[in-house]
C-alpha cells in the first residue's frame, strides 16, 4: 500500500485492503463452516426438546375416595316472630283518657291497657235506663187496660146468660171483645218495648265497658301507638293501639325456601340458625310447617316455612333476621368422592407419529399455532364416571351416585373402594 501525505486517502486505501482480504476464498469457507455448525446445534436442541416433551406427557392431581358421614343441608333466610301476635285496637271512637302500660310491660288477660273518655257513654247508659223504666211503666198501664177490658167482657157474658141472650145486644158484645183484644195487643207491644229498651241499655253498657281497652292474652307489649289526649277514630277498621306477643319463650322463624330446595324440606326436620345479634352462636329449631302456597319476590318463587324455636333465655327478639341451615339428609358411613372427580374429563390422546419425516430446516420453520383440543365429555344420558390412574394413564370407571352436599357425592355402586385415588384435575402436559 502506497502512503501519501493526505490522511483521508491513506484511510480509504486501508479500508479497501481490508475488504479485499475478507472476500477471499479462505474467509468465505470459514463462514460456511460456522453457519453449518449453528444449524446442527439448533436441530439437536429441537429434537431433544420434542423427545422430552413426548416422554413427559400430562400430569394429574388426585384425591382419595373416603368413608364418612354425608350431611345435606338447605339454606334459607327469614325473620323471627312470636308464635301468637295480637293487635289490640278500639271499636269505639273517642279521646284517650289514660294509657296504663308501656312497651316491654308484662300484661295478663283482661288487664286494662288504656281508657277512653266515658262521659258520653255514661249519658247514653242513663238515657237507656230511663227508656227502660218508661217501657216498663207502659207495660203496667197496658196490663191494667187489658184487665179492665177483660172484666167488661166477662160482665156482658154473665148478663147475657142471665137474660137468656136478650141483653146486651150482639153489637155491644162484639165491641167488648174487640176492646179486650186491643188491650192485650197493647200489653204485648209494651212488653216488646221493654225488651228493646233493655237491649239498648245492655248495648250502651257494653260500649261503656269497651271504653276500657283490655288485653286479650297473657304476654308482653311489643309496641304502643297511642298517648293520652289522642283522638281515636274507629270507622270501617279498628285502629291498632297496642301490639302484644303471647309468649316470647316460644318463637318461630319464618323463612323462604327456594323452589329448587322445597322438595327436600319436610315437617319434623331439624335446623340450626344464626342471628347478627349473637355472632358465633347457633340456635336450634324444628320445622313445623311447609306451605303449599307460593310467593314471588323479584321474580323468585319461594315457599314460606315455619320453624319452631325455643327462646327460654329471651335472647332472641321479634324481627331479628335469621339464616337457617336445614338438615334434609344424613348418611352414615357413606362412600364419598369429590365432586371435582365427577366433573373431570382427561384431554384427548395426542398424535405422536406424524412428525418423524421432518428435516432440520423444516423443524426450524415456524408453524401455525394448533387449536386447543376440547376435553372429552360424558354423553348425555350416560352413567356418571370417575377416572383413575393405571400404569400412568387415566382410565374411566362407571359409578352410581346418590346424594350430594355440593362438595362430595355419595357413591352407591361401581368398582370403587375406599382410599382409591381418583383424578380431579389436569396439572400440565
pLDDT band at 225 (very low <50, low <70, confident <90, very high): very high
Sheet holding 212-214, edge to edge: 212-214, 112-116, 94-99, 231-232
In a domain, 162, yes or no: yes
Examine the domain organization and report whether 140 and 289 are in the same domain.
no
Predicted pLDDT at 380: 53
In a domain, 12, yes or no: yes
Angle subtended at Cα 175 by Cα 173 and Cα 180, rounded to the nearest 5 degrees:
100
Of the residues 200, 227, 246, the one at which a domain ends = 246
Examine the domain organization and report whether 306 and 361 are in the same domain.
no
Examine the domain organization and report whether 313 and 365 are in the same domain.
no
**Pairwise CA distance, residues 52 & 47, whole Å:** 9
* pLDDT per position as a tens digit, 82-111: 999 999 999 899 999 999 999 999 999 999
* pLDDT per position as a tens digit, 107-164: 999 999 999 999 999 999 999 999 999 999 999 999 999 999 999 999 999 999 999 8
In a domain, 308, yes or no: yes
Range of 255's domain?
Answer: 74-83+249-331
In a domain, 1, yes or no: no
Examine the domain organization and report whether 267 and 408 are in the same domain.
no
Half-sphere exposure of 395 (CA within 13 A, CB side): 11
In a domain, 2, yes or no: no
**Pairwise CA distance, residues 188 & 197, whole Å:** 14
**Pairwise CA distance, residues 353 & 347, whole Å:** 18
Residues 6+ apart with CB under 8 A from 282: 272, 273, 274
pTM: 0.62
Examine the domain organization and report whether 131 and 199 are in the same domain.
yes
**Pairwise CA distance, residues 401 & 384, whole Å:** 7
Of the residues 210, 234, 260, the one at which a domain ends = 210
Q: Strands 66-82 and 106-107, how do they pair?
A: unpaired
Of the residues 331, 353, 374, the one at which a domain ends = 331
Domains contained in the chain, number? 5
pLDDT band at 199 (very low <50, low <70, confident <90, very high): very high
Amino acid at each position: 500500500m502506497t502512503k501519501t501525505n493526505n490522511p483521508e486517502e491513506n484511510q480509504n486505501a486501508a479500508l479497501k485492503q481490508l475488504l479485499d482480504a475478507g472476500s477471499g476464498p479462505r474467509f468465505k469457507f470459514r463462514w460456511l463452516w460456522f453457519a453449518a455448525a449453528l444449524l446442527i446445534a439448533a436441530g439437536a436442541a429441537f429434537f431433544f426438546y420434542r423427545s422430552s416433551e413426548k416422554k413427559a406427557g400430562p400430569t394429574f392431581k388426585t384425591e382419595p375416595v373416603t368413608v364418612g358421614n354425608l350431611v345435606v343441608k338447605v339454606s334459607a333466610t327469614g325473620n323471627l316472630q312470636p308464635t301468637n301476635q295480637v293487635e289490640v285496637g278500639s271499636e269505639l271512637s273517642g279521646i284517650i283518657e289514660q294509657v296504663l302500660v308501656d312497651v316491654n310491660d308484662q300484661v295478663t288477660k283482661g288487664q286494662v291497657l288504656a281508657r277512653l273518655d266515658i262521659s258520653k257513654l255514661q249519658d247514653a247508659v242513663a238515657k237507656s235506663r230511663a227508656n227502660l223504666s218508661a217501657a216498663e211503666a207502659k207495660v203496667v198501664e197496658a196490663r191494667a187496660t187489658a184487665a179492665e177490658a177483660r172484666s167488661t167482657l166477662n160482665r156482658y157474658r154473665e148478663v147475657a146468660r142471665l137474660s137468656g141472650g136478650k141483653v146486651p145486644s150482639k153489637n155491644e158484645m162484639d165491641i167488648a171483645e174487640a176492646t179486650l183484644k186491643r188491650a192485650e195487643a197493647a200489653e204485648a207491644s209494651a212488653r216488646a218495648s221493654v225488651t228493646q229498651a233493655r237491649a239498648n241499655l245492655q248495648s250502651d253498657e257494653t260500649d261503656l265497658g269497651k271504653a276500657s281497652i283490655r288485653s286479650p292474652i297473657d304476654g308482653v307489649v311489643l309496641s304502643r301507638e297511642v298517648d293520652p289526649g289522642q283522638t281515636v277514630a274507629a270507622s270501617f277498621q279498628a285502629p291498632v293501639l297496642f301490639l302484644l306477643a303471647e309468649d316470647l319463650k316460644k318463637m318461630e322463624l319464618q323463612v323462604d325456601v327456594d323452589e329448587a330446595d322445597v322438595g327436600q324440606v319436610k315437617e319434623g326436620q331439624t335446623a340450626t340458625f344464626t342471628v347478627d345479634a349473637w355472632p358465633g352462636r347457633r340456635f336450634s329449631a324444628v320445622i313445623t310447617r311447609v306451605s303449599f302456597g307460593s310467593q314471588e319476590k323479584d321474580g323468585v318463587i319461594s315457599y314460606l316455612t315455619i320453624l319452631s324455636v325455643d327462646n327460654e333465655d329471651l335472647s332472641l327478639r321479634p324481627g331479628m333476621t335469621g339464616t337457617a341451615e336445614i338438615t334434609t339428609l344424613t348418611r352414615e358411613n357413606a362412600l364419598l368422592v369429590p365432586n371435582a372427580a365427577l366433573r373431570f374429563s382427561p384431554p384427548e390422546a395426542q398424535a405422536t407419529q406424524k412428525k418423524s419425516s421432518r428435516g432440520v430446516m423444516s423443524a426450524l420453520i415456524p408453524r401455525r399455532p394448533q387449536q386447543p383440543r376440547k376435553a372429552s365429555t360424558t354423553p348425555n344420558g350416560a352413567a356418571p364416571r370417575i377416572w383413575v390412574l393405571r400404569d400412568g394413564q387415566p382410565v374411566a370407571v362407571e359409578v352410581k351416585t346418590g346424594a350430594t352436599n355440593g362438595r362430595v357425592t355419595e357413591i352407591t355402586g361401581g368398582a370403587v373402594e375406599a382410599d382409591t385415588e381418583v383424578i380431579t384435575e389436569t396439572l400440565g402436559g
